[in-house]
A and B are shown apart, each in its own frame.
Chain A
């Protein structure tokens, strides 16, 4: 049991780390994105993607390195959000089947939510820049360093679950592979490497 949890936790910590970056980014993105009331209707407007309170920014929807980088940061924001609301549906929406880390995070989050668990901490921050290289017309790879904050798993009453209190980690050499999905006009994760 402990081993399973540890496995889950390490993944979720990673997820949480992404979230920290995402949280700070989330606010910035919301501020910069046009609101429904202020936006001018356009034939070229992209159909919205992602949760209503954290929509995918338009800059993440261009088929170039800048778009891939914005997408990676956005996915991290989604990871962070899932740590808070325990809802991984959008983690799956923007990850292909081959992204086993993405799926594992989603699956474990679902499992924990079903047990009434919540997470405290676990944030992961991108330290420095995200380097992105286009490795094909529709594929990009990124590299970045991530830090992982300590994480505690809480039960239904908000009490820490014994044995599920984890130290953070620093300087995790991380990376992603993303592919362009023309139907969604979005990038999709096929590989998420954390540490």
Chain B
């Protein structure tokens, strides 16, 4: 995940960089591409804030922020001799083998689609944002109209966990989404934020007092997720997304006492 090897790295006329394993014959270098965080971590054991940069990528392309390194390859010379592109001594290394040290290059956004890298967390997150996550409905008690002085209970009865299996460029990605936060828009300007979906009476945990009037309440659900690629390690998806549930409208009435004749 942290580093890639490539046989070819070229700069396009537009200035972008593209890596692949389809090198022309006698290409003089081989390449290693590492994420800045990997490089920093090798040295310091920690990543830096500047290590995280999201490269713009056209749809269907994988472009990542990488530090390229190149290493000379031994080339065939005249009369069965060997050489390198810049005259560096090829030594006794066979043609096509790397020779000498890795030479660091300048950090850049590099298109690595051709290397068919496993989906990155950021790429999985982009897919996660498009998943048809449940739009959890708002349920309220008492059903129908409420009464001033009688708190309205809120809860949702939709699924709070959902699993998806995706095919991302040939990789099987299992995503488990979990409703991790609930924002209850009560309709009177108040938002209640909870980490549980609530429950009906008498196990309720979420309620709200209203003045008399007509209100429209709704629920925004925040989803987080974990994912694994081809059955591998399960890791968090870096980011969250939200769904909006259908609103409910109800009246809250002011109950007025009325004297009646008990003998009627």
Q: Which residues on A are within 8 Å of B, measured CB to CB?
A: 97-98, 100, 103-104, 107, 128-129, 131, 133, 141-145, 173-177, 191-193
Contact = CB atoms under 8 A, between A and B. Distances in A.
B92 A128 contact: yes
B43 interface: yes
| Among A100, A107, A142, A145: residue with most chain B CB under 10 A | A100
A173 B42 contact: no
A193 B69 CA distance: 12
A98 B104 contact: yes
Interface residues of B, number: 20
A15 B43 CA distance: 17
A103 B42 contact: yes
A-B CB proximity, top 8 nearest: A175-B101, A131-B89, A175-B100, A100-B42, A143-B100, A193-B101, A191-B101, A177-B101
Given A145-B93, A193-B102, 5 more contacts: A98-B104, A104-B42, A141-B100, A144-B91, A173-B98
B211 interface: no
B164 interface: no
B103 interface: yes
B99 A143 contact: yes
A174 B98 CA distance: 9
Interface in B98-141: 98-104
Contacts, number: 60
Contacts of B103: 141, 177, 191
19 contacts: A100-B39, A103-B43, A128-B92, A131-B89, A133-B87, A133-B88, A133-B89, A141-B103, A143-B88, A143-B89, A143-B93, A143-B99, A144-B91, A173-B98, A174-B101, A175-B102, A176-B101, A191-B104, A193-B71
Interface of B: 39, 42-43, 45, 71, 87-93, 97-104
Contacts of A142: 100-101
A125 to B, nearest CB: 15
Nearest to A144: B91
Contacts of B97: 173
A128 B87 CA distance: 19
Contacts of A177: 101, 103
Nearest to B89: A131
A193 B100 contact: yes
B101 A141 contact: yes
Given A131-B89, A143-B88, A143-B89, A175 B99 contact: yes
Contacts of A97: 43
